[in-house]
Structure 1
């Protein structure tokens, strides 16, 4: 699997060098940076700009690409002893998924589950997460309703994000909790929303439809972590 971009490659070099199989460079590096690359004792290949663009599928690789082991998704059952999980219900945009992973990791959630989808384009989500997907457990569960039932049986309180919910600053947040966020536009499916213990919202100062799911996630996760 190819990931690209200076930030992600340097993140992997510093935190997860065991995942790197080879490093591909499409630019000359400063002496210190090249020395850091060589210290890893991984195969290093020079590639031209055309090949680098092809490997990055047209993305902005900044001259840095890493060939890494395939991403290993977590088994959601290993997360049931956690205190705070984030569930994305039917969210398919890898930019949003990655951004929520990054926020969830930075703000202290214990794991993220992408539910109601069969798979995620790992490379795009990893890049959008700035590498946080390598440190935060992420699972994929196709059946959203079954997942919610299992989480309730495991003792979690389910909080669904919705426009008509209780303002998050007024909600009573239980210690073992799950925040469920739906896709932009569609939101959380009706049958899934019926399983929520409470619906919470971000109170708007000005009239507007909704926030981007990653922006809403940041506000709600922060509030729930500091309730």
Structure 2
């Protein structure tokens, strides 16, 4: 297997990748022996259209490739996931005449959280995601599986230093909003204009130096006994407030 390969696995993510991506991005298609005939036919039809060979393999081969992930009988060996170049992403978005909405993730470590967040980003029209190069999940096969294909539609830029990146964004006219225990009720948040939402680490929240760069902080009121939400759930709540404020009457 090429060292430049990663894996997309699972029926939804795998079929979506075969439908939407250039065949050059697919190195191999592995299909489990004995899967349902209608599903196998789908895989063969898509592979035939893109001149890809399907290799029938036993389940334990797919278990090995995915580290016992929930592959559902389909694994694609694909070219390594590509990141957007931060400066180029901003230039492209702004040249389109948009007032972009970006999501910055401060050291989200769980790939399942990152995948779920990308799925919500796709649903709510987030223009790009910014993640740090170190101490955070990158784009992996688990992220791809959890995102159910959204990884192919939401640009993700990886940067060296989030604090320095916020300063660049401010210079370009973006407003930065971060999550915190104390802040404006998220239900009053107006997310119009060039906006960046910053989500903190699952356990520690936004790092102190990064928090100082925020123009405003947002909080999600809670009346239960547990005063915290999973990072992907909190992100989803805030992104739908963004969606509501930017798409009123649409």
Give the TM interval when normalised to the shorter protein: over 0.9
- Name the CA distance, whole Å, in 2 between partners of 1:209 and 1:140: 30
* Structure 1 residue corresponding to 2:211, chosen from 193, 196, 221: 193
Contact preservation (8 Å) 2:199, 2:205:
yes
Deviates more, 1:120-129 or 1:179-188: 120-129
Deviation at 1:43, TM superposition (A): 1.2
TM-score (norm: length of structure 2): 0.85
Residue 155 of structure 1 is matched in structure 2 by 173
Contact preservation (8 Å) 1:181, 1:217:
yes
Q: How many residues align?
A: 227
- Name the CA distance, whole Å, in 1 between partners of 2:133 and 2:9: 28
* Structure 1 residue corresponding to 2:115, chosen from 86, 90, 98: 98
Question: Equivalent residue of 1:78, what SS?
Answer: helix
Question: Equivalent residue of 2:77, what SS?
Answer: strand
Deviation at 1:163, TM superposition (A): 1.4
1:72 maps to 2:45:
no
Contact preservation (8 Å) 1:85, 1:177:
yes
Deviation at 1:32, TM superposition (A): 4.1
1:38 maps to 2:44:
yes
- Name the CA distance, whole Å, in 1 between partners of 2:191 and 2:58: 53
Residue 33 of structure 2 is matched in structure 1 by 27
How far does the alpha carbon of each residue in 1:69-115 deviate from its partner, in whole angstroms, 9 at most, with x for none? 11111112233226100000111211111111111111111111112
Deviation at 1:132, TM superposition (A): 0.6
Question: Equivalent residue of 1:98, what SS?
Answer: helix
Deviation at 1:123, TM superposition (A): 1.4
Unaligned runs of 5+ in 1: none
- Name the CA distance, whole Å, in 2 between partners of 1:8 and 1:169: 33
Question: Equivalent residue of 1:226, what SS?
Answer: helix
Residue 84 of structure 1 is matched in structure 2 by 101
Contact preservation (8 Å) 2:109, 2:202:
no
Question: Equivalent residue of 2:40, what SS?
Answer: helix
Unaligned runs of 5+ in 2: 1-5, 246-250
Residue 173 of structure 1 is matched in structure 2 by 191
Over aligned residues, Cα RMSD in angstroms? 1.8
Question: Equivalent residue of 1:187, what SS?
Answer: coil
Deviates more, 1:121-130 or 1:208-217: 121-130
1:197-216 aligned at under 5 Å gives the runs: 197-216=215-234
Residue 53 of structure 1 is matched in structure 2 by 63
- Name the CA distance, whole Å, in 1 between partners of 2:172 and 2:219: 24
Contact preservation (8 Å) 1:8, 1:127:
yes
Deviates more, 1:20-29 or 1:128-137: 20-29
Deviation at 1:130, TM superposition (A): 1.3
Deviates more, 1:51-60 or 1:168-177: 168-177
- Name the CA distance, whole Å, in 1 between partners of 2:178 and 2:194: 14
